A and B are shown apart, each in its own frame.
Chain A
Amino acid sequence: MAADAAVVVEKLSKHYRGPPPVDAVKSIDLEVARGEIFGLLGPNGAGKTTTVGMCTTRVVPTAGRVTVDGVDVRADPPGARGRIGVVTQFNTLDRSCTVFENLKYHCRYFGMNHRDAKARAAELLDTFRLADRADANVMALSGGMAQRLQVARSIAHRPVVLFLDEPTSGLDPQSRIALWEVLGALHDEGTTVILTTHYMEEADRLCDRLAIIDYGEILVMGTPDQLKRQVGVETVVTLTLDGDREGAVKALSVVAGVDRTEIVEGEVLVYLAEREGPLPAVVQAALAFGLVDLALTEPTLETVFIQLTGRALRD
């Protein structure tokens, strides 16, 4: 796969001297195949932005190596920049320029002539439903529009690999789905996409493969299905209890068919190895501890994360 990989990350580390000193990324290895949508999933401060920064020439690694489309990012930053598109976590639109000019000049930076740049900008404005704002100042855009424009700009030069750092945070559900559709279309065209997120549904739905990252380390990596299967759980029962939760955990863990129990953020999670068989016994046991509410779910990436870290990912 190595020869065909779009992005190869080898023993990549970043230490910030601080204060406080932080090992933001600790010797991670990754390989993203061409045409893949790859997700970096992790909580705040996990090291997602730092990792993307090192892949996109903006953060100098303390150690390790990144190649994008065969180009060593550190040895040839301009070469790497020519092959990637980047949407950062912050709005970086050119405020001195209009919506149209943001796209047009971006195309110029990437070597298109005046006419091609204009044509490409117009085409993107249509695709991203921004045509009626062409001459607006970017300050006058709503958050969702600004985000769309940033994505449009990032793909304007047809990059081989597209990096998106939390592209949907701050978007309403509709804009989020619209962005997913855009990424789906890029995927169909064969663009490699690497995105970071802390939304589990997003990672689950969008990514071919993903890595869960925490404290600068990759905890697991695989397809969403692989990760969920690896948990070895069929059903998760979430119990909201009035009474003694510690006692409940103890009582529930001996119920037949219960794989594990734990308390996460005030709720008792019961993992069942079978789908429904043990459920009546679980409810029966829980009633003794002031059962208020109960929910059944299949294991999600959240389950995976909780199992790995004992913490919930959602903030």
Chain B
Amino acid sequence: MTDTASATAGIRVTTSPRVSYRAAFWGLMVRDTKVLSRSLTQFLLRTVIQPFLFVFVFLYVFPNIGAGIHGPGVASFGTVLLPGLVAVAIMFQGIQAVGLPLVNEFAQTREIEDRVMAPLPTNMVAFEKILFGAMQSALAAVLVFPMVLFFPNSNVHPHVNPVLLVAEIIVACLSAGALGLAIGTGWNPRQVPLIFSLIVIPITFLGCIYYPWASLHTIRWLQIVILVNPLVYVSEGLRGAITPNLQHMPWPVSLGVLILIGAGLAWLGMRGFRKRVLG
């Protein structure tokens, strides 16, 4: 097409909204994939190092210095850790892949501007953030799962329920993306250190990663308080799908509540996104 013929001949003007929305959405995904592929090493490092250190310290260092930790009953600690570490990898990815970059894009670089001006509803731009974050979360889960499983001494004997596992992972990844969007639109760059101390650390330590939720019955108040933490439902849900021989919440509960929390976070995040983008 030449420039002369084009001035009023917009290509998409003639196409239906559904087609142009889909094209624009796809364009956003392609762009994000390219940007991610360029920082793949960074992605791998931030995804793998933390869980690796966990299994290294808990499954290698501790047992070797005679400070071994056991799971409840006869279960190995590795059995407790496997779903927990996959869960935290998923959740973290949402914050790191969606939340923190978004904080900067809104505040300083304004580079989100061109994507916001793409011919699709603003909510879909926000949802693309969630979806692409969810895909990175899923990738993180795929990396961390075998790493923990095959770690020497992990002593895990999973009984995977594939259907439930896929369902749990999909819901968990989308919720993580939604959490990232809510954080990314709700905080400014000066508050980033606060994001870590107020959200990341408490969520992790009180996320039923190192212990099944049921085993907290001896500290009843804590058991109840941490029910606001979405990570609890991810850990417990994955426990039900990967290591069901260990105590876990019934899957309809963990999955159901996680869907509710995820939907709430998505609503919050999309509202925040619109607020940030529209004057």
CB contact under 8 A between A108 and B31, given known A81-B117, A92-B113? yes
| Chain B hits for A118, CB < 8 A | none
CA distance A76 to B161 in the complex (A): 45
- A97 in the interface, Cβ–Cβ < 8 Å? yes
* Chain A interface, DSSP helix/strand/loop, else mixed: loop
Query: Is the CB–CB distance between B114 and A92 below 8 Å?
Result: yes
Determine the distance from Cα of A107 to Cα of B30 in the docked complex, in whole angstroms.
12
Residues of A with C-beta under 8 A to B28: 109
Is there an interface contact between A60 and B110, defined as CB atoms closer than 8 Å? no
A159 to B15, CA, bound (A): 15
CB distance from A245 to the nearest CB of B (A): 43
The number of chain A residues with a CB under 8 A from chain B is 43
Instruction: Give A32-56 as 1s and 0s: 1 = Cβ < 8 Å from B's Cβ atoms.
Output: 0010000000000000001001001
CB distance from B34 to the nearest CB of A (A): 7
Q: Is A186 among interface residues, defined by CB-CB distance under 8 A? A: yes
User: Is B66 on the interface with A (CB-CB < 8 A)?
Assistant: no
Are A79 and B17 in contact, CB atoms less than 8 angstroms apart? yes
Cβ contact of B12, chosen from A56, A111, A190, cutoff 8 A? A111
Residues of A79-130 contacting chain B, CB below 8 A? 79, 81-83, 86, 88, 90-97, 101-102, 105-106, 108-112
Residues on A with beta carbons closer than 8 Å to the beta carbon of B1: 158
State whether A110 touches B118 (Cβ < 8 A). Answer: yes
B121 at the interface (CB under 8 A from A): yes
Task: Please state if A83 and B13 are interface contacts (CB–CB under 8 Å).
Answer: yes
Enumerate chain A residues within 8 angstroms of B114, measured Cβ to Cβ. 92-94, 102, 106, 109, 153
Q: Nearest CB to that of B5 among chain A residues?
A: A189
CB distance from A82 to the nearest CB of B (A): 4
* Known contacts A110-B12, A190-B7; is-contact A95 B277 (Cβ 8 Å): no
- Alpha-carbon distance A111/B9, docked complex (angstroms): 14
A110–B119 CB distance below 8 A: yes
Instruction: Give A82's nearest chain B residue, CB to CB.
Output: B119
Q: Size class of B's contact patch?
A: 35 or more
Is B20 positioned at the interface, with any CB of A under 8 Å from its CB? Answer: yes
The reply to whether the CB of A243 lies closer than 8 angstroms to some CB of chain B is: no
Q: Are A83 and B27 in contact (CB under 8 A)?
A: no
Chain A residues whose CB sits within 8 angstroms of the CB of B121 once the complex forms? 77-78
In the complex, residue of chain A having the shortest beta-carbon distance to the beta carbon of B119: A82
Residue numbers in A under 8 Å from B277 (CB-CB): 58
A292 to B116, CA, bound (A): 55
A91 touches B7 (CB 8 A): no
Known: A60-B278, A92-B111. A82 touches B12 (CB 8 A): yes
Q: Taking the complex as formed, is B54 at the interface, i.e. its CB lies under 8 A from any CB of chain A?
A: no
> Does any Cβ of A come within 8 Å of B120's Cβ?
yes
CB of B23 within 8 A of CB of A96, answer: no
Residues of B within 8 A of A (CB): 1, 3-4, 6-13, 15, 17, 19-21, 23-24, 26-28, 30-31, 34-35, 38, 109-111, 113-122, 277-279
Which are the 10 A-B pairs with shortest beta-carbon distances?
A108-B27, A92-B113, A82-B119, A109-B118, A59-B279, A190-B7, A111-B23, A189-B7, A158-B6, A109-B27
- Show 30 A/B contacts (Cβ-Cβ < 8 Å), sorted by A: A50-B279, A57-B117, A58-B278, A77-B121, A77-B122, A78-B17, A78-B121, A81-B118, A82-B10, A82-B12, A83-B13, A91-B110, A92-B113, A94-B31, A94-B114, A101-B34, A102-B114, A105-B27, A105-B30, A108-B27, A109-B23, A109-B115, A110-B12, A111-B11, A111-B19, A158-B1, A158-B10, A158-B11, A160-B10, A189-B6
